[in-house]
Amino acid sequence: MKTLKKLESIPVNGSMHRRKFLGYVGGTAAVATVIAACNHSDDFTGSLEATNGPSPVNLGSGDVGILNYAYALEQLEAAFYKQVITTQYSGMTADETSLLTDIRDHEVAHREFFKAALGSAAIPALTVNFTSINFSSRDSVLTTAKTFEDLGVSAYNGAGKLIKDVNYLLVAGKIVSVEARHAAYIRDLISYGSFANDNVVNPVTGLDLANDPPTVLKAASAYIATQINASYLPTK
Amino acid sequence: MNLQNIFNQIENTDPEIYERLDGRRELMQRFTKLGSKFALTAVPVVLGGMLNKAYSQAPASIVSILNFALTLEYLESTFYAKGLATSGLIPESQRPSFDSIAKHELDHVQFLSSTIIALGGTPVAKPTFDYTAKGTFPDVFATKDYATFLALSQTFEDTGVRAYKGQAGGLISNNDVLTAALQIHSVEARHASHIRSVRAALGASTKPWITLNNTGIGAAVAASYAGEENTNQLGVNIKALPSIKGGSSTSADTATEAFDEPLTKAQVLTIVMPFIQ
């Protein structure tokens, strides 16, 4: 397949602008088609449980770098909620099970979306490190969920200005508000009414958190075994 | 064609034109260079491109977006202030949450107003609102109909989220304003999530996130959820992606819940206009 070959020739994690990326395949619809054709080669389940030591991952530069950055965070969240639902904490109510399962499915959809949209420019599956999380403890699980959701919101808020293509900016906007919905729900589970408290919303300006990639990745690194190189990401 | 005349006219119209570009001399040099490559008939196109570069990112369009946002924040802020001032409407147990939401909306009003002024613009005046939307809804402040108050709250928050999302692209040229708008956008989403949970606890058919284009309220607010049923993102069919349940398919519920959709300014104004007297 000629198109596929061209797509595969794009350097993984390399710098690539959307126009150039699309130039390889002739349009977004074509990207989706090519990606659908590629999916079978990469086993969907269990990819995060790599047994060999993880090799460092380079997010790349430009918009692709930012999308890979988001893909990394979504991988982390999806893996976390997968575990939350697989090994449910004691006393998880039916409502909690239902809505935490929803969140898991959303994060998986985000992860698979980025994987598909990035195609061969996507970073590989990351290896997570959840040794600090006690999945049988409601407190431990919800506190970690809050950390991840608030971190995700602050990451997308901080990354918006680094995105050049308005279409990518829009899709980041479509995802960040869902992360904020998750964050509010989790926060209310922990402490009712804390959905947007002063820890996340500035009490003077009414603005939510926004963090740059180094800050976010430093916080996330406690839960990701794979070393991530973000040094080529845009900074303004 | 006399380029000098064209420049003089532009200067008369906008004395700051050269601050927007690279200075008059460089502009002249660019045209001089272009002169050898392009026929004179191409000059208007080239000039148009340069002016587009100069003005497409001008504060005017950004101020206009911020004033649009300010109108929405006034709609919310006034609504919650009236709600909190109406005794017997909001249950005591819920007051702290609405205090918090009301404060955020007021903070947004003040933040947007001061940003507009800082950009050289004039903040729009606070409209007079009709929260019955010309009789579509009961007057919750008279009837103390908490369920309708919550339904309106949810609609305002979800619409606000979609409105900011729709304007993000228009702010891409100004990093500071874009970031601030995103920071407001996610606060509105937090509010929406909370309100939707409050309604769910009272028996409404809602989750913290939006499923398909379900309103959980009724046809009166359908316009605020129209388009949320989209399952295609950047040309990727989300429903065809592998899900955790196995196989290459994701449910339409998940595919739509996972992505919130934008509304255009025109769509938002259509929704909001009935609430403005």
Q: Give B97-121 pLDDT, tens digit per residue.
A: 999 999 999 999 999 999 999 999 9
Paired with B276 in beta bridges are B129
What is the CATH classification number for the domain harbouring A143? 1.20.1260.10
How far from B172 is each of A163, B48, B164, B167, B219, CA to CA, in Å? 8, 21, 13, 9, 34
CB contact under 8 A, B208 and A185: yes
Partner residue facing B243 (CB), from A105, A161, A185: A105
Alpha-carbon distance of B191 to B189, in angstroms, equals: 5
DSSP H helical segments within A9-137, as ranges? 18-25, 28-38, 62-86, 94-118
Query: What is the C-alpha separation between A189 and A142, in angstroms, rounded?
Result: 8
Residue B72 CB neighbour total at 10 angstroms: 24
Q: Which of A207, A209, A236 to mutate to test the interface with B (most CBs of B within 10 A)?
A: A207
- Smallest CA-to-CA distance from A78 within A126, A143, A134, A42 is with A126
pLDDT above 90 for B54:
no
- Min CA distance, B254 vs chain A (Å)? 6
What's residue A55's pLDDT? 83
Q: Which residue of A has its CA nearest to B161?
A: A177
Shortest CA distance from B172: residue in chain A: A161
Find which of B188, B190, B205, B249 to mutate to test the A interface (most A CBs within 10 Å of its CB). B190
Q: For residue A146, tell me if it sits in a domain.
A: yes
Could you tell me the residue range of the domain that residue A42 belongs to? 7-229
What pLDDT is recorded for position B247? 76
Does residue A2 belong to any structural domain of this protein?
A: no
Is residue A170 included in any domain, yes or no?
Answer: yes
Contacts of B196 in chain A (CB under 8 A): 181
Q: What's the pLDDT at B16?
A: 58
Minimum distance, in Å, between the CA of residue B65 and any CA atom of chain A: 16
Q: Which of B168, B207, B241 sits opposite A113 (nearest CB)?
A: B241
Nearest to B173, CA basis, from A227, A166, A123, A184: A166
Looking at residue B201, its pLDDT comes to 97
- Interface contact flag, B233 A174, Cβ < 8 Å: yes
Contacting residues of B for A171, CB less than 8 Å apart: 233-234, 259
Compute the residue count for chain B: 277
% of chain A residues with pLDDT over 90: 77
Give the type of residue at B254.
T
Residue A197 placed within a domain: yes
CATH number for the region B57-204+264-277 comes to 1.20.1260.10
**pLDDT tens track for A152-186:** 999 999 999 999 999 999 999 999 999 999 999 99
- Chain A residues in contact with B168 by the CB 8 A cut-off are 160, 166, 169-170, 173
CA distance A225 to chain B (A): 22
Residue A207 lies in a domain: yes
CA distance B251 to chain A (A): 9
Nearest residue in chain A measured CA to CA from B105: A206
Burial track B114-146 (b if 16+ CB lie within 10 A, e otherwise) = ebbeeeebebbeeeebebbbeeebeebbeebbb
Whether A29 contacts A40, CB under 8 Å: no
Specify whether the CB–CB gap between B67 and B124 falls below 8 A: yes
Give the closest-approach CA distance of B226 to chain A in angstroms: 15
CA distance B256 to A28: 20
Q: What is the pLDDT of residue B13?
A: 54
Question: Does residue B19 surpass a pLDDT of 70?
Answer: no
Q: Which run of H or of E encompasses B183?
A: helix B175-201
Measured from the Cβ of residue B166, the count of other Cβ atoms closer than 10 Å reads 21
Closest CA–CA distance from residue B134 to any residue of chain A (Å): 30
Which residues have CB under 8 Å from A31's CB, separation 6+? A21, A22, A25, A117, A119, B234, B235, B236
Closest chain A residue to B182 measured between Cα atoms?
A: A157
Q: What's the confidence (pLDDT) of residue B60? A: 81
Residues of B in contact with A184 (CB under 8 A): 189-191, 193-194, 197, 208
Say how many domains are in chain A.
1
- Alpha-carbon gap, residue A88 to A66, rounded angstroms: 33
Nearest by CB: A153 against B180, B186, B236:
B186
Interface contact flag, B189 A161, Cβ < 8 Å: no
- Tell whether A235 is covered by a domain: no
Average pLDDT rounded to a whole number, residues A47-53:
49
Q: How confident is the model at residue B239 (pLDDT cuts 50, 70, 90)?
A: very high
Contact across the interface for B189 and A184, Cβ inside 8 Å: yes
Q: Which of B73, B260, B74, B255 is nearest to B181 (CA)?
A: B73
Burial annotation A137-154 (CB, 10 A radius, 16+ → b, else e): ebeebbebbbbbbbbbbb
Which of these, B256, B211, B207, lies nearest to B233 by C-alpha position?
B256
Mean pLDDT throughout B49-68? 70
Mutate which: B97, B187, B225, B248, vs A, most A CBs within 10 A: B187
Report ipTM for this prediction.
0.81
Within-domain flag for A234: no
β-pair partners for B232: B237
The distance of B238 to chain A (nearest Cα, Å) reads 7
Query: Do the chains contact at A175 and B194, CB–CB below 8 Å?
Result: no
Closest residue on chain B to A35 (Cα):
B236
Residue of chain B with shortest Cα separation from A81:
B244
The chain-wide mean pLDDT, for chain B, equals 87
From B169, B243, B260, residue closest to A177, measured CB to CB: B260
In one letter, which amino acid is A4? L
pLDDT, position B23: 54
Question: Is it the case that residue B200 has pLDDT exceeding 70?
Answer: yes
- Residue A42 DSSP code: S
- Measure A228 CA to nearest chain B CA, in Å: 25
Query: Please, are residues A108 and A78 in contact by the beta-carbon 8 Å criterion?
Result: yes
Under an 8 A CB cutoff, do B207 and A157 touch?
no
